[in-house]
Structure 1
Amino acid sequence: MFQLSEEERQNLKSQNVTSRWGGRRTLPFVFTEHGVAMLSSVLNNTRAIQVNISIIRTFVRIREWALNYSE
C-alpha cells in the first residue's frame, strides 16, 4: 500500500466523477497488485473474496494491455 502523489491524484480525479462538495481532502492510499493478492490470505468473507478476485483480474487485464500497447 502507498499514498498517491498530488499529480497522480489529479490524474485519477480527472478520470472519475467527483462530488460538488469537494470529496477527499487528503491524498488517497492505494494497493499494488501484490498488496491485493496478500489480502486474499487475510479475508475470510465470501463477498470480500469475490471482490478481491475481480480486482486481481482487473490488474491482469491492465498488465496485458500495457504489454501490448504499441505507443
Structure 2
Amino acid sequence: MRTGTNLLKVKDYNQRLVLEIIRLGDGASRVEIAERTGLTAQTVSNIVRRLLSEGVIEEVGKGRSRG
C-alpha cells in the first residue's frame, strides 16, 4: 500500500534549506538559492516572500542582472 507525503514537512524542510543558504552566504539572490538547492525559482520565491512577510529575513539591495 502506498502512503502519501506530508507536504507540511516538505514545506518546512525546504524553508530550512533556504534559510541555511541565506545564513551561510553573504547575500544570495533567489536565482542563486534555486541553483544551490535544486528548488524551482517559483518555490524559492514563495518561500522568500513568506519569510519576508514574517520578518524573518530582509532584502538588502539588488544584485547585478545576469539577464
TM-score (norm 1): 0.32
TM-score (norm 2): 0.33
Bigger Rg, which one = 1
